[in-house]
């Protein structure tokens, strides 16, 4: 089946089954084209909460589909690929949170949304890259254990110096390893007038070179508001696809073309079609985990 026919089939099935497709900003153009809602983690979490559909198909990674299930437990949530993992979320286990709580009894524990449900269930509150600073500021504790992203933890520490952030040693290989300072220097030499926007999952030396630091939706907002015509984008390479679609008169250069998230890219038009057709792979979570993880997510949404 060619791509256009496949897209047509997906749209038909979506209608027939009263389904909705949520997609993260890192998805490929074909998937961005058929998504009902495209966004960053915060946006997708908020929107997953009040959908009047029977099925949610999540074109993103597992923790995002789990978040949709936690916030809409009565809906059937489908993740089209069993390989759609976030390798940073894989680094933090429930036992780590339990151990850290014992080790730092006076601290509050903040879980980045890039964690699995059973990890969220053990923490005090969640955050995304967009609201991490405000979430940490809102807590009535001086010490904050921040799980799992060490780079985001470091960024928040700089922004909120009045707190003591205790970082977990997790990281995202796309931002930490595949986007280097050297890449930015090279891009800047080629595009002298371009401004640099970096995701806070990137290393400190990359953030230091950036004109702006933002979540993926935060990037959209900056470009909308700022007068500049060219940007170097230091995050997953397909973010430039999303930006080029939205701002056809501006130019976007990925900091590194190698910055590709394997989990995100395991979602394809083919497996979205199969997912809708066979209603696979359903996200199933224990009721107790849903309840406890929901508390942490709702607290976050309340203050965002």
Q: Which residue ranges make up the site for ligand 13P (CB under 6 A)? A: 25, 40-41, 114, 128-129, 172, 199, 201, 215-216
**Binding partner at 264 among ligand SF4, ligand 13P, none, C-beta below 5 to 8 Å by kind:** ligand SF4
What is the closest distance, in whole angstroms, from the C-beta atom of residue 157 to ligand 13P in the complex? 19
Q: Out of 30, 33, 87, 226, which residue is the one contacting ligand SF4 (CB under 6 A)?
A: 87
The sheet that has 19-24: what strands, in order across it?
Answer: 37-39, 19-24, 55-59, 76-78
Of the candidates 31, 44, 86, 110, which one interacts with ligand SF4 according to CB under 6 A? 86
212-213, strands of its sheet edge to edge: 212-213, 195-198, 230-234, 251-254
Distance of closest approach, residue 16 Cβ to ligand 13P, in angstroms:
30
Question: CB under 5 to 8 A by kind: which of ligand 13P, ligand SF4, none does 263 bind?
Answer: ligand SF4
* C-alpha distances out from residue 282 to 20, 42, 65, 276, Å: 14, 22, 9, 11
Rule CB under 6 A: is residue 88 a binding residue for ligand SF4?
yes
Of 85 and 114, CB closest to ligand 13P = 114
Q: Which does 87 bind (CB under 5 to 8 A by kind): ligand SF4, ligand 13P, none?
A: ligand SF4
**Where are the alpha helices (H) located in 72-139, listed in sequence order?**
94-103, 117-120, 132-138
Q: How far apart are CA 152 and CA 163, in angstroms?
A: 14
C-alpha–C-alpha distance, residues 41 and 47, integer Å: 10
Distance set, CA 116 to CA 110, 122, 177, 266 (Å):
13, 11, 22, 18
Nearest one of 186, 159, 155, 134 to 304, comparing CA atoms: 134
- In order of 175, 201, 259, 286, the CA distances from 255 in angstroms are 10, 14, 8, 40
Which positions from 234 through 263 interact with ligand SF4, judged by CB under 6 A?
236, 261, 263
Q: Which of 91, 110, 172, 289 binds ligand SF4 (CB under 6 A)?
A: 172
Q: Which does 40 bind (CB under 5 to 8 A by kind): ligand SF4, ligand 13P, none?
A: ligand 13P
* Least CB distance to ligand SF4 at residue 180 (A): 15
| 79 touches ligand SF4 (CB under 6 A) | no
User: Residue 102 Cβ, how far from ligand SF4 at the closest point, in Å?
Assistant: 27
In the complex with ligand 13P, the residue whose CB is nearer, 79 or 107, is 79
Task: Find the shortest distance in angstroms from Cβ 216 to ligand SF4.
Answer: 9
Which residue stretch of 85-93, 188-196, 211-219, 268-276 sits at the interface with ligand SF4 (rule: CB under 6 A)? 85-93
Q: How far is CA 177 from CA 86, 172, 211, in A?
A: 15, 8, 20
Judged by beta carbon distances under 5 to 8 A according to partner kind, the member of ligand SF4, ligand 13P, none in contact with residue 240 is none
Kindly provide the b/e burial profile for residues 242-276, where b requires at least 16 CB atoms within 10 angstroms of the residue's own CB.
bbeeeeeeebbbbbbeebebebbbbbbbebbbbbb
Q: Can you name the residues that pair with 167 across neighbouring β-strands?
A: 146
- Compare residues 10 and 174 and give the one whose CB is closer to ligand 13P: 174
Residues 6+ apart with CB under 8 A from 189: none
CB of 136 vs ligand SF4, minimal distance in Å: 19
Please list every residue from 89 through 118 that binds ligand SF4, using CB under 6 A: 114
Distance of CA 196 to the CA centre of its chain: 20
Residues contributing to the site for ligand SF4 (CB under 6 A): 61, 86-88, 114, 172, 174, 201, 236, 261, 263-264
């Amino acid at each position: 089946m060619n791509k256009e026919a496949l897209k047509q089939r997906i749209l038909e099935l979506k209608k027939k089954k009263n389904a909705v497709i949520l997609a993260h900003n890192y998805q490929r153009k074909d998937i961005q084209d058929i998504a009902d809602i495209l966004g960053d983690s915060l946006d997708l979490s908020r929107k997953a909460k009040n959908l009047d559909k029977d099925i949610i198909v999540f074109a993103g990674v597992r923790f995002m589909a789990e978040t949709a299930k936690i916030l809409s437990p009565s809906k059937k949530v489908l993740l089209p690929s069993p390989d759609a993992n976030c390798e940073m979320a894989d680094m933090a286990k429930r036992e780590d949170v339990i151990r850290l709580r014992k080790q730092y009894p006076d601290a509050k524990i903040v879980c980045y949304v890039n964690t699995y449900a059973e990890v969220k269930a053990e923490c005090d509150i969640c955050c995304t890259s967009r609201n991490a600073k405000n979430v940490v500021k809102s807590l009535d504790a001086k010490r904050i254990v921040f799980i799992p992203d060490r780079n985001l933890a470091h960024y928040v520490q700089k922004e909120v110096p009045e707190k003591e952030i205790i970082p977990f040693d997790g990281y995202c290989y796309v931002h930490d390893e595949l986007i280097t300072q050297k890449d930015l220097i090279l891009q800047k030499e080629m595009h002298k007038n371009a401004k640099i926007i970096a995701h806070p999952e990137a290393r400190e030396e990359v953030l230091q070179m950036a004109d702006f630091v933002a979540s993926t939706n935060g990037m959209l907002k900056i470009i909308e508001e700022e007068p500049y015509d060219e940007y170097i984008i230091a995050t997953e390479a397909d973010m430039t696809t999303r930006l080029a679609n939205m701002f056809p008169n501006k130019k976007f250069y990925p900091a590194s073309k190698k910055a590709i998230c394997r989990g995100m890219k395991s979602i394809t038009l083919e497996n979205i079609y199969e997912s809708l057709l066979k209603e696979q792979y359903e996200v199933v979570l224990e009721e107790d985990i849903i309840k406890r993880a929901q508390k942490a997510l709702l607290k976050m949404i309340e203050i965002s």
